[in-house]
Amino acid sequence: MLSRSAQSLYWLGRYLERAGNLCRLLQLQSESLVDRPVREIHFGWNRIYKYVQRDPPGGEIQLFGDEEYVLADSFALADDMTFERTNPSSVYSCFAQGRENARHTRHCISPEVWTCLNASYLRLQQQNMASVWRWEPRAFYQELVTDIETFGGLAECTMYHDDRWSFLQLGRLVERAQGAATLLLSQIDTAIASSQQEFHEEDWTSLLRVFYALEVYNHAYTVAVLPDRVMDLLVSDPLLPESLGRSVGLIGSEIASIGSGPYSRSGRALQRLVGRLSSMINYEWPDEEERVALLRDISGGADELHFLITEAYFDYPIQEPA
């Protein structure tokens, strides 16, 4: 298929996946505002800003002040992460970018997929933080999450599973893998950075909920939430839908069905990298003592995937016609 269309589909997948991850984090965050202690809310915001690698407006998020202050602050942070047009990582920006890429490649996706995305974008466009905050912010994020999941489901069942589908799927999976690695590292870094050294189970519980993994965890292990076990589940469990290992495995399948592309040097490098990532997750991870270091390697590898995909299929040097 046309390289530019493939690239747009890939980015469409990435942006919507990113918007979905963000909405899930913000949904949990808005829930915590109802009944959780200030410390936990503070942890959640720091985790989100580390995840998107952005400085919060007004600099560092302070852990002081009364409850009123925390809530007021949370409004500003939620606004920044949801509706701020100048924040390239905001939910709005991700939706707008996703839709723009979909517009470029609307003839390659099914009308059902387009209409779902467009209608959701138009609804988002008509709202603002004040209107969301007044009622139930949790429900607002929940609806967006549902929209994005509906988008994924519609794509799955209305699009022909040829290269168009594979590039869309590849974008979603690369973003999912990168996002999972980044989020795990943000969790660890935020825990290290917070002045209290003690371990807070609830911070890890909320992480499990981002991955829809809390019930699985309780079932597979015990109700005692331990960071190492949480990481095992989120990194290497092959049955957890959004585990890092599962995403990397699916990336491998999509690349296999697309083929190595016209620029074989990058195409082969891409296949080797996917193999290496799988091996790190499946074979090194279980016995690894220095898990954080390994996780950083995996995260670096996941970032590298993007560059190799771009070079192998979209921006390859032009050789003579086949």
Nearest C-alpha neighbor of 250 from the set 308, 168, 310: 168
The rounded distance, in Å, linking the Cα atoms of 67 and 231 is 32
Give just the sign of the alpha carbon dihedral 51, 54, 56, 61: positive
Q: Residue 258 interacts with another protein (CB under 8 A)?
A: yes
Here the tokens at position 86 are: 């100048």
Task: Please identify which residue in 71, 72, 119, 239 interacts with another protein, judged by CB under 8 A.
Answer: 119
Nearer to another protein, 165 or 285 (CB): 165
Q: Residue 192 interacts with another protein (CB under 8 A)?
A: no
Residues making up the chain, counted from first to last: 322
Q: Residue 321 interacts with another protein (CB under 8 A)?
A: yes
Nearer to another protein, 110 or 218 (CB): 110
Q: Residue 1 interacts with another protein (CB under 8 A)?
A: yes
Q: Do 47 and 191 contact (CB within 8 A), yes or no?
A: no
Q: Residue 100 interacts with another protein (CB under 8 A)?
A: yes
Q: Residue 161 interacts with another protein (CB under 8 A)?
A: no
Q: What are the Cα distances from residue 56, in Å, to 8, 74, 311?
A: 30, 11, 33
Q: For 81, what's the count of Cα atoms within 13 Å in the CB-facing half-sphere?
A: 32
Task: Please identify which residue in 36, 54, 104, 268 interacts with another protein, judged by CB under 8 A.
Answer: 104
Q: Residue 255 interacts with another protein (CB under 8 A)?
A: no
Minimal distance in Å, beta carbon 4 to another protein?
5
The rounded distance, in Å, linking the Cα atoms of 178 and 302 is 5
Count of chain residues binding another protein (CB under 8 A): 31
Q: Do 212 and 293 contact (CB within 8 A), yes or no?
A: no
Q: Residue 256 interacts with another protein (CB under 8 A)?
A: no
- The residue ranges that bind another protein (CB under 8 A) are 1-6, 100, 103-104, 106-107, 111, 114-115, 118-119, 122, 163, 167, 258-259, 261-262, 313-314, 316, 318-322
